[in-house]
A and B are shown apart, each in its own frame.
Chain A
Amino acid sequence: MSSIRSRLVVIFIVTLTLVGGGGGLAFDAFQNYAHFNNELDFSYQITDQLQTLNHRRLTEEQSLWLKETLSKVHQPERHQILKDLEAAYANRASRTAQSRIDFFLRNEAEYRNFLRSSISYYEERLVYWGLLALGSAVLVVLFTLAFLQIAVFSELKSLSRKMVDFLHHRYTYQFSLPPPTEVGHLQATFNSMAQRVLVQMQELQALDKAKSDFLSIASHELRTPLTSIKGSLSLLRAGVVGELNEASNNLMEIAENETDRLIRLINDLLDLAKIEARKLPLSPQWEPLAELVESTFQALQGLAETSKVTLQLKDPTPMEVYMDRDRIQQVLTNLVSNAIKYSPEKGTVTVSFDVNPQEEIVISVTDQGQGIAPEDQELIFQKFRQATGPKNPLVKGTGLGLAIARALVEEHQGHIDVKSSPGQGCSFFFTLPKWRFSLKTHSQMDQAA
């Protein structure tokens, strides 16, 4: 048994013995000291009173005092003398009374000497045992504190330091043999936990490397044959080996379009895998938001014209957002091209900015399409999912656009969501936490003023 608790119990028993024993003896000495002091006072009182007595007769008061004193004096010799004195007064034997008084006074002087020596003896004992009890109490307190410091506090401190290291991803963990105490047990448990975490971390690192390797192999191995297929088709369609007839050209076009789709799908999948594996480092900077929207619109102008949809940027408040321009453009492109695809002819797709109560900037892309049923609104952000229904025919796409958009927005510490009711169009919006009003505009305003 070497636990901290059992040691504290031993310390407690020793304390009790020392303080209790010393204290008890000191208390005993004090009681005797007080008793002999009272006796001494009493002896002086009797002496004083006896000296005032007349040996011939007693007053009523003096007779009462004598009776009372008799009851208080228990030593047989002193008691006998006073009893004889009372009897002498009763027999009016004044000579006997005087001799009894004188005898008592002589005897009392000796008795007081005895009392004084007793008092000084018990005084010494009181000081001796009292100091011993007090000293041992102080020693025990100091010893307990030292013991707690060594066995508990310093151990806990070193353990918590190790935990903080873990918390801050510093894994230079020193395994030491824990002491066989409760704190040691805690440390041993933490050691096993730490060991398991370290092992799992190595496994995770291996997995992470495997994933990276897979990504790089997949991008190479999938893209290489596609490059050949796509290239051959392009060259054939361009008439490099001679003009094609219309049927061949149509078939070639189908093959080329589907190859394009496959390339897009692979690019999207690899992008998503990279974002999820956090292999896509962001390089954020302060960028003007309206310009980003304009350039997205420009890139999608062709698609919008084919679909007869108008693109509109509402109230372009000049502001700058801290973001990775290319990645947020990817998000916007996904949202705007979706909005175009689901818009009716002559519809309008509107992009607008706002600031929400959490002081984040909210960028919304609103269309006038069929809208999305509430039960589909979470689903569409998952991989390979589209909201389909009688009024929503499957639209061409990989089903990865929104999943990528969500991953990219979350990588920017924002969130993405949709507000819609069927038949009312829908509004996709995402938030970005770091933004400011454009400084450029302030200087422009200054110039205007």
Chain B
Amino acid sequence: MKILLAEDDKNIATIAKLALEQFGSHQVDHASDGQIALEMALSGDYDLILLDEMMPKLNGLSVCHQYKVQSPSPSPIIFLSAKSQEADLDEFRRCSMGFITKPFDPLKICSQIASILDAGRAAA
């Protein structure tokens, strides 16, 4: 899969990228803030977008909303977030396929993504 990883923390981005490439053999592009992520998501042809919630310039939810409005055929979105309050999680559920909570386990991230996508396809 071709994945866009939007994550402002360089370290976490490095780990996630490494895990996705190593264990899932995915091709990963990295965006370091919300603005860049939105531009890349709209111009590139990605199979999946992994969005961090807290990012400078544009937060994950705004990127998600704007992307879905502006893109002719939006790709699935999965949130990466340290937030665990129910209200936030509900918000994620409303506008995306699902979410992976931080701290995530890099060894499991590929299977987590796969199961979220499967559940999303089953629901659709």
What is the minimal beta-carbon distance from B78 to any residue of chain A, in angstroms? 16
CA distance A225 to B54 in the complex (A): 14
A283 to B106, CA, bound (A): 31
Q: Chain B interface: which of A169-177, A190-198, A216-224, A390-398?
A: A216-224
CB of B9 within 8 A of CB of A228, answer: yes
Q: Which residues of chain A have C-beta atoms less than 8 A from B103's C-beta?
A: 223, 226-227, 230-231, 263
Question: With an 8 A cutoff between CB atoms, is B117 at the interface?
Answer: no
- Report B80-111 CB contacts with A as 1/0, cut-off 8 Å: 00111110000000000000001111110000
Which of A226, A240, A270 is B18 in contact with, Cβ under 8 Å? A240
Q: In the complex, are the beta carbons of B83 and A219 less than 8 A apart?
A: yes
> Does B43 lie at the interface of the complex (its beta carbon under 8 Å from any beta carbon of A)?
no
The answer to the question of A49 belonging to the interface, with a C-beta cut-off of 8 Å to chain B, is no
Counting contact residues on chain B (CB < 8 A from A), the size range is 20 to 34
Let me know if A220 and B12 touch, CB within 8 A. no
Task: Determine the chain A residues whose CB is within 8 A of the CB of B107 once the complex forms.
Answer: 234-235, 238
Taking CB as reference atom, which chain A residue is nearest B81? A220
Please tell me if B22 contacts chain A, counting CB pairs below 8 Å: yes
Most A CB atoms within 10 A — which of B16, B84, B103?
Answer: B103
A81 to B16, CA, bound (A): 144
Q: Does A232 contact B (CB under 8 A)?
A: yes
Contact between B22 and A231 (Cβ–Cβ < 8 Å)? no
- Residue of A whose beta carbon sits closest to that of B103: A227
Q: Which residues of A contact B11 (CB under 8 A)?
A: 225, 228, 232
Interface check A357, CB cutoff 8 A: no
Residues of chain B within 8 A (CB-CB) of A242 are: none
B19 at the interface (CB under 8 A from A): yes
Answer yes or no: B114 CB below 8 A from chain A CBs.
no
Interface residues of A in 228-265 (CB under 8 A from B): 228, 230-232, 234-235, 238, 240, 263
Q: Which residues of B contact A240 (CB under 8 A)?
A: 18-19, 22
> Counting CB contacts under 8 A, is A281 at the interface?
yes
**CB-defined interface of B7-25 with A at 8 Å, one 1/0 digit per residue?**
0010110011011001000
Q: How far is the CA of A188 from the CA of B12 in the complex (A)?
A: 61
Q: Do the beta carbons of A224 and B83 come within 8 Å of each other? A: no
Q: Is the interface of B mostly helix, strand, loop or mixed?
A: loop
* The residue from A216, A231, A232 contacting B104, defined by CB atoms under 8 A apart: A231
Given A234-B107, A238-B107, A240-B22, the answer on whether A227 and B102 have CB atoms closer than 8 Å is: yes
| A238 CA to B110 CA, complexed, in Å | 14
**Cβ–Cβ contact B15 & A224, under 8 A:** no
Q: Which of A220, A225, A234 is the one whose CB lies under 8 Å from B106?
A: A234
Of residues A227, A234, A235, A238, which shows the largest number of chain B Cβ atoms within 10 Å of its Cβ? A227
Asked if A219 and B84 make an inter-chain contact with CB atoms under 8 angstroms apart, the answer reads: yes
Q: Out of A216, A238, A279, which one reaches B83, CB within 8 Å?
A: A216
Q: How far is the CA of A283 from the CA of B85 in the complex (A)?
A: 13
CA of A225 to CA of B12 in the docked complex: distance in angstroms? 8
Q: Which of A220, A223, A228, A235 contacts B19 (CB 8 A)?
A: A235
In whole angstroms, what is the CA distance A263 to B82 when docked?
12
- Residue pair B82, A220 in contact (C-beta under 8 Å): yes
Within the assembled complex, what's the spacing in Å between the Cα atoms of A177 and B60?
A: 53
B94 to chain A, nearest CB (A): 17
State the Cβ distance, B87 to closest chain A Cβ, in Å.
8
Q: Is the CB of B106 within 8 A of A231?
A: yes
Cα distance A216–B84 when bound, in Å? 9
- Give the nearest-CB partner of A230 in chain B: B103
CB-CB contacts below 8 Å: B1-49 with A:
9, 11-12, 15-16, 18-19, 22
Q: Are A279 and B85 in contact (CB under 8 A)?
A: yes
Q: Which residues of A contact B54 (CB under 8 A)?
A: 220
CB-defined A-B contacts under 8 Å, sample of 22: A216-B83, A220-B83, A223-B82, A223-B102, A224-B9, A224-B12, A224-B82, A224-B102, A227-B82, A227-B104, A231-B16, A231-B19, A231-B106, A232-B11, A232-B15, A234-B105, A234-B107, A235-B19, A235-B22, A240-B19, A240-B22, A283-B86
16 additional A-B pairs beyond A223-B82, A232-B11, A240-B22, beta carbons within 8 Å, are A220-B54, A223-B103, A224-B9, A227-B9, A227-B102, A228-B9, A230-B105, A231-B16, A231-B103, A231-B105, A232-B15, A234-B105, A234-B107, A235-B106, A235-B107, A240-B19
Interface positions of A (Cβ within 8 A of B): 216, 219-220, 223-228, 230-232, 234-235, 238, 240, 263, 270, 274, 279, 281, 283
Interface residues of B (CB under 8 A from A): 9, 11-12, 15-16, 18-19, 22, 54, 82-86, 102-107
The 10 residue pairs across chains A and B that have the minimum distance between CB atoms = A231-B15, A227-B103, A228-B11, A223-B82, A231-B106, A227-B102, A234-B106, A220-B82, A230-B103, A234-B107
